[in-house]
């Protein structure tokens, strides 16, 4: 039986959703124009005023926002409400050393948690469930978002956060957790570990998983479903737009329904910026209709994607997006953390290292491995082992603010390094 958190809107006729989007867009553009000078200036430069936006049909007239805008407006430049009305930030890595910081009013958090609650119920969750949230809590949106959604559904929420696999498994077994929320790679790792412990799927109480924040294949879905004995659902989101729950999978497990009462999705040609028709492959662009504190209009996600309004067997009428098929920039997602090569270079140069490096990314037993090998230079090298280790420690510390956990950095001798070939400019 399909379950909905807010069926009146999730299953509303498309015309009703579109009318709501028109109404909310007009209001949101006015809000941004009045409260976000950074975007108002962009609109003025394009010769657009709120009067020009009479509904979603005029959306294409508005200027885009990119991660570069976020960097330039950092930290408070895109805040849409006075600071005293904002209650929270969440943060993700930026394209350089600076991070992206997004703001929330209590109302924003409330709507974000609604979106996550829809995802949990679409995965079959009810107030009878024990929902273990093994996404990181803190600046990362995964933990706080699903935690709030789980509360709204009324699940018994187990906020384990990420890591400490033994404790995760202990709680799954002892508390009889039925829903698991984490990155797909961590779910796969948990599954492998439980298998090694001799647990068969019927001995694992989990029945569903909500896995997002990184790319995963259908093959990986099958593996996770088989080892854990669950149904695995995808969830999508960006810190810039709230976090997980911008879109989510239903029982059909074929694409993610976008919460269209809160977000308008467009597909554009990443080179020309031209809006493409439904079904075309291009860059996904989102307009946040209800966000107060961080109201981004036409935000370019850089995710390459396809939209489809084909009727879904679950009964929801929200448009569906396919799993992102790639990026229109060089962003890498490593264990759920966004990493830009340009950011690695900025950190290196900022910390006084040569910008010759090699990024080695692999997937070992469904878990991403991330290594940044830095070229050893005659200037850095000394006969003193302690000093070299100190230099390495500094590099690891410099990485910390950007990615949380540092890469397993090591040194490359210059001659055998293809550094010049992987060198990227910011």
As measured in angstroms, the least distance from the Cβ of 228 to another protein is: 34
Find the part of the chain contacting another protein (CB under 8 A) among 205-213, 253-261, 280-288, 408-416: 408-416
DSSP codes joined into one string, 235-280: EEEEGGGTEEEEEEE-TT-SSEEE-TTTEEEEEE-TTT-PBPPTT-
What is the distance between the alpha carbons of residues 236 and 115, in angstroms, rounded to a whole number?
A: 11
> What count of other Cβ atoms lies within 10 Å of the Cβ of residue 412?
17
Give the count of beta carbons closer than 10 Å to the beta carbon of residue 169: 17
> Which is nearer to another protein, 223 or 375 (by Cβ)?
375
Minimum distance of another protein from residue 381's CB (angstroms): 5
Count of residues that bind another protein according to CB under 8 A: 16
CA nearest 361: which of 426, 422, 304? 422
Angle of helix 341-350 relative to helix 385-403, nearest 10 degrees, comes to 130
Closest CB to another protein among 326 and 418?
A: 418
Tell me which of 107, 137, 411, 423 binds another protein, using CB under 8 A: 411
Taking CB under 8 A as the rule, does residue 358 contact another protein?
A: no
Complex with another protein: residue 84 or 416, whichever CB lies closer: 416
Quote the least distance from Cβ 363 to another protein, whole Å: 21
Vertex 280, ends 276 and 285: CA angle to 5°? 55
Smallest CA-to-CA distance from 238 within 219, 261, 265, 216 is with: 265
* Residues 174/272, Cβ–Cβ less than 8 Å: no
Map residues 371-390 to x or -, x wherever contact with another protein holds by CB under 8 A. Answer: -----xxx--xxxxx--xx-
Q: Supply the minimum distance, in Å, between the C-beta of residue 394 and another protein.
A: 15
| Alpha-carbon span 409 to 387, nearest angstrom | 16
Report DSSP state, residue 271: T
- What's the closest the beta carbon of residue 408 comes to another protein, in angstroms? 9
Contact 249, 216 (CB under 8 A): no
Rounded Cα–Cα distance for residues 91 and 140 (Å): 6
Nearest to another protein of 76, 381 (CB atom): 381
Residue with smaller CB distance to another protein, 126 or 390: 390
The smaller minimum CB distance to another protein, of residues 13 and 378, is found at 378
Count other C-beta atoms under 10 Å from residue 13's C-beta.
9
Structure-block tokens of residue 271? 């080179």
What is the number of alpha carbons within 13 Å of residue 108 lying toward its C-beta? 27
Name which position in 87, 169, 276, 410 contacts another protein (CB under 8 A): 410
Q: CB of 382: closest distance to another protein in angstroms?
A: 6
Instruction: Give whichever of 166 and 383 is closer to another protein, judged by the CB atom.
Output: 383
User: Rounded to whole angstroms, how far apart are CA atoms 31 and 37?
Assistant: 11
Q: Which residues pair with 234 in a beta bridge?
A: 211
Residue among 82, 350, 413, 418 that touches another protein (CB under 8 A): 413
Which position among 55, 279, 315, 414 is part of the footprint of another protein (CB under 8 A)? 414
85-93, 96-104, 226-234, 406-414 -> range binding another protein (CB under 8 A):
406-414
Taking the mean position of all CA atoms in its chain, how far away is CA 97? 19
Q: How far is the CB of 377 from another protein (least distance, A)?
A: 7
Instruction: Pick one of 47, 202, 415, 425: the residue that binds another protein (CB under 8 A).
Output: 415
**Residue with smaller CB distance to another protein, 313 or 382:** 382
Q: Which residue, 332, 288, 263, 349, is CA-closest to 93?
A: 332
* Tokens 């294409």, residue located: 60
Stretch that binds another protein, among 44-52, 81-89, 320-328, 405-413 (CB under 8 A): 405-413
CA angle in degrees (0–180, nearest 5) for 191-195-201: 75
Q: Minimum distance between the CB of residue 413 and another protein, rounded to whole angstroms?
A: 6
Q: Least distance (Å) from another protein to the CB of residue 417?
A: 10
* Residue whose entry in the numeric block shows the structure tokens 């885009």: 64
Give 352 or 413: the residue with its C-beta nearer to another protein.
Answer: 413
The nearer residue to another protein, 47 or 378, going by C-beta atoms, is 378
- Which residue ranges make up the site for another protein (CB under 8 A)? 376-378, 381-385, 388-389, 410-415
């Amino acid at each position: 039986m399909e379950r909905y958190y807010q069926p009146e809107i999730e299953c509303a006729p498309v015309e009703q959703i579109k009318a709501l989007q028109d109404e909310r867009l007009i209001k949101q553009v006015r809000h941004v124009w009045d409260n976000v000078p950074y975007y108002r200036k962009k609109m003025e430069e394009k010769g657009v005023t709120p009067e020009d936006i009479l509904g979603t049909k005029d959306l294409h007239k508005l200027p885009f926002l990119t991660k570069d805008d976020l960097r330039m407006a950092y930290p408070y430049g895109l805040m849409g409400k006075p600071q005293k009305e904002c209650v929270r930030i969440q943060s993700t890595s930026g394209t350089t050393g600076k991070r992206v910081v997004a703001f929330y009013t209590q109302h924003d958090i409330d709507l974000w948690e609604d979106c996550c609650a829809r995802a949990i119920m679409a995965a079959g969750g009810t107030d009878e469930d024990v929902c273990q949230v093994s996404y990181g809590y803190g600046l990362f949106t995964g933990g706080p978002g699903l935690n709030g959604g789980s509360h709204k559904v009324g699940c018994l929420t187990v906020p384990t956060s990420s890591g400490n696999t033994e404790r995760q498994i202990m709680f799954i077994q002892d508390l009889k957790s039925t829903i698991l929320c984490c990155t797909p790679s961590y779910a796969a790792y948990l599954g492998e570990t439980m298998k090694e412990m001799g647990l068969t799927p019927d001995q694992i109480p989990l029945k569903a998983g909500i896995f997002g924040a990184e790319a995963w294949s259908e093959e990986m879905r099958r593996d996770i479903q088989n080892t854990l004995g669950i149904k695995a659902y995808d969830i999508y989101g960006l810190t810039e737009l709230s976090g997980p729950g911008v879109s989510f999978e239903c029982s059909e497990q074929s694409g993610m329904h976008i919460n269209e009462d809160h977000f308008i999705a467009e597909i554009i040609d990443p080179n020309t910026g031209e809006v493409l028709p439904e079904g075309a492959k291009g860059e996904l662009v989102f307009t946040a209709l209800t966000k107060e504190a961080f109201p981004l209009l036409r935000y370019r996600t850089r995710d390459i994607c396809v939209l489809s309004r084909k009727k879904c067997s679950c009964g929801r009428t929200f448009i569906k997006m396919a799993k992102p098929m790639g990026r229109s920039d060089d962003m890498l997602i490593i264990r759920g953390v966004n990493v830009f090569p340009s950011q690695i270079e900025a950190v290196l140069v900022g910390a006084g290292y040569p910008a010759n490096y090699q990024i080695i990314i692999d997937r070992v037993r469904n878990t991403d491995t991330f290594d940044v090998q830095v070229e050893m230079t005659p200037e850095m090298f000394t006969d003193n082992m302690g000093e070299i280790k100190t230099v390495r420690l500094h590099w690891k510390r410099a990485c910390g603010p950007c990615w949380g956990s540092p890469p397993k950095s090591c040194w490359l001798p210059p001659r055998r390094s293809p550094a010049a070939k992987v060198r990227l400019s910011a």
